[in-house]
Amino acid sequence: MIKIIVPATSANIGPGFDSLGVALNLYLTLEIHEETNFWVVDHDFENAMPHDATHFIVKTALSLAPNITPHHIIVKSDIPLARGLGSSSSALLAGLAMANVLADLKLSDELLLEHATKLEGHPDNVAPALFGGGIAAYYDGLRLYHAPLKLPDFVDFITFIPNYKLLTSAARAALPQNLSFKESVAASAISNTLIAALYADDFVTARELIEQDHFHETARADLVPHLAVIRRIAHDLDITGTYLSGAGPTIITIVPKNQSTDLLLALSKANLPGQIHRLQQDFNGLTIMKEEK
């Protein structure tokens, strides 16, 4: 049996729209079992999700290697769907990795990432899901550039996952068509300074800049009312570092561990409609294990 494990991811991290992302410790696990005549996909997602070759993971695998033999596969995941935690990127990478293994394509991580980015359109979820940790990346439609993003090791990612879904397509439809020159310069300066502050271990500056995005959060505010609510709760505790995870609706606050309990308590008292998790960075990224069975 072959097991492919892919972490969840949180994209944007405030001002790093379509570029910054971090892997977090929720996981999608794909088990590849025996060969079969037709693809059989067992999963514990909603019933509407297919159990055959039309399942997203199989379709993604076949897009890379159309001739692979059908198998019985089992998909388990604790990454909630359509919540801004990279569930589709993790599934996409799992499919590509399955094709790479079953068709013995021997594609490098770099080629897998290029392929995944082309399918996804932007690298901010697939890159950290593949490599683990934080990643800064840029895809110009032809070439992909990426570098590790240093994030502090003394923090938790306090994550509020609302009870409702928000499709990335809907959240992207809310984005502005244009930004003025002045606003673009500000947006890029904030992102540059955030990354420099992180490299200088200046988390005090970094956590303020995380809240100053100009690219997407304002445009999406009506879709994600809990962003303002959670920021206010955190500010009442003198905690900054709250942002919209990916296209939402999940909200994350990056908090020094010694402030996590205070924020968790305040959030649970607020009775918000969703789940609250205390997550950490995943540093492994996509992992493949072969087990004798």
- Footprint of ligand HSE (CB under 6 A): 11-12, 17-18, 122, 124-125, 168, 171-172, 216, 246-247
Min dist. Cβ of residue 171 to ligand HSE (A): 6
Q: Which of 142, 192, 171 is nearest to 248 (CA)?
A: 171
Min dist. Cβ of residue 9 to ligand HSE (A): 9
Residue 33 exposed, middle or buried by CB count within 10 Å (0-12, 13-18, 19+): middle
Min dist. Cβ of residue 103 to ligand HSE (A): 27
Length of the chain: 293
Instruction: Name beta bridge partners: 138.
Output: 145
Identify which of residues 71 and 226 has a Cβ nearer to ligand HSE in the complex. 226
Residue 159 exposed, middle or buried by CB count within 10 Å (0-12, 13-18, 19+): buried
Q: Which of 231, 277, 227 is nearest to 248 (CA)?
A: 227
Largest CA distance in the chain: 61
Min dist. Cβ of residue 214 to ligand HSE (A): 13
Min dist. Cβ of residue 91 to ligand HSE (A): 13
Identify which of residues 18 and 31 has a Cβ nearer to ligand HSE in the complex. 18
H-state helical runs in the chain:
56-64, 87-102, 109-120, 126-131, 168-173, 181-199, 203-209, 226-236, 257-269
Identify which of residues 171 and 197 has a Cβ nearer to ligand HSE in the complex. 171
The pair of three-digit structure tokens given for residue 154, joined into one six-digit string: 């003394």
Identify which of residues 1 and 167 has a Cβ nearer to ligand HSE in the complex. 167
d(CA 253, CA 266): 13
Identify which of residues 183 and 201 has a Cβ nearer to ligand HSE in the complex. 183
CA torsion angle 230 231 235 239 (round to 10): 90
d(CA 93, CA 86): 11
Min dist. Cβ of residue 266 to ligand HSE (A): 26
Min dist. Cβ of residue 11 to ligand HSE (A): 4
Identify which of residues 11 and 233 has a Cβ nearer to ligand HSE in the complex. 11
Identify which of residues 124 and 211 has a Cβ nearer to ligand HSE in the complex. 124
Q: Which of 164, 176, 152, 161 is nearest to 241 (CA)?
A: 152
